[in-house]
Amino acid sequence: MTEHVDPARNLSSIKDEIAEIATGCDRDPADVHLVAVSKVHSEDRIVPVLDAGHRLFGENRIQEAEGKWPALRERYDDIHLHLIGPLQSNKVKNAVATFDVIETVDRPKIAKALANEFDRVDKRLPCFIQVNTGEESQKAGILPMDVDAFVKTCVDDYALNILGLMCIPPVDEEPALHFALLAEMAKRNGLAAKSMGMSADYGTAITLGATHVRVGTAIFGTRPKP
Ligand SMILES: *Cc1c(COP(=O)(O)O)cnc(C)c1O
């Protein structure tokens, strides 16, 4: 059985909702960017969203993105692809070639590998630092107490273009606390961008200052098993 999903229609209602929530908390809707998370989905779900004019997407696996997006980039201009999944140092070259923004800078080794690759290709992609706000042992990200020093390392030692911070709150906790914590850490480090909020909680994230919400299921439907 295939679920009936209309990604373009979902996109349109989510955009309306984002605008409404932003306006409702005195924010400019243009300051909230919708990253359409297309991981696991194939072209038949992605193309309607492209045809509706959307250009900002997120993928969490480098190899999958390398397979899907070059052909779509040939057909659609101005696609903007964010890496929202873990990055290993041996994949940094592929990631820099495939993505436009890296949201998951999560350790010094990766910051260094990215800096080297940016130098090599003479291109510096904007980056986010992933913060493990829930201090979960199985989750990637910089611990809250190490964030200030890591931002400084990325900027001063590696000359990375750090736009802001990103988090994935623990599934079983109130996300608002994590979004507020991320916003506070971004503010004290002078970083404007906050990537937080997914299908279930992007509204909360926007009220707490999200500049990028990463929404998959609410646009594309339930993900098939990869
Ligand atoms: C899959 C994923 C999302 C999207 O999650 P949905 O609940 O489907 O909206 C957002 N962020 C990251 C990092 C993801 O891996």
Protein residue with least CA distance to atom 6, ligand 1: 216
How far apart are the C-alpha atoms of 202 and 208, rounded to whole Å?
10
Ligand 1 geometric centre to CA of 58 (Å): 9
Please list the rounded mean pLDDT of every run of 10 residues in the chain (226 residues): 84 98 98 98 96 98 98 98 98 98 98 98 98 97 98 98 98 97 98 98 98 98 83
Ligand 1 geometric centre to CA of 35 (Å): 10
CB-count burial class (<10 Å; 0-12, 13-18, 19+) for 177: middle
What is the per-residue pLDDT for 2? Answer: 59
Query: For the chain, which residues make up each domain, given as ranges?
Result: 7-220
Homologous superfamily (CATH) of 7-220 is: Alanine racemase (3.20.20.10)
What is the per-residue pLDDT for 226? Answer: 62
Q: How many CA atoms lie within 13 A of 75 on its CB side?
A: 11
pTM, entire model: 0.97
3-state helix, strand, coil in the chain (%, to 5): 45, 15, 35
What is the per-residue pLDDT for 137? Answer: 96
What is the per-residue pLDDT for 4? Answer: 84
What is the per-residue pLDDT for 224? Answer: 82
Using alpha carbons only, what angle is made at residue 206 by residues 64 and 218, rounded to the nearest 5 degrees? 45
What is the per-residue pLDDT for 17? Answer: 98
Locate the ligand 1 atom nearest the alpha carbon of residue 60 and give its number: 15
Ligand 1 geometric centre to CA of 216 (Å): 6
What is the per-residue pLDDT for 225? Answer: 78
What is the per-residue pLDDT for 38? Answer: 98
Ligand 1 geometric centre to CA of 122 (Å): 30
Protein residue with least CA distance to atom 11, ligand 1: 214
What is the per-residue pLDDT for 3? Answer: 66
Residue 220 tokens read as 């594309």
Instruction: Tell me if 214 CB under 6 Å of ligand 1.
Output: yes
Locate the ligand 1 atom nearest the alpha carbon of residue 215 and give its number: 9
Backbone angles phi, psi at 34, to 5 degrees: -95, 110
CA 190 to chain centre: 19
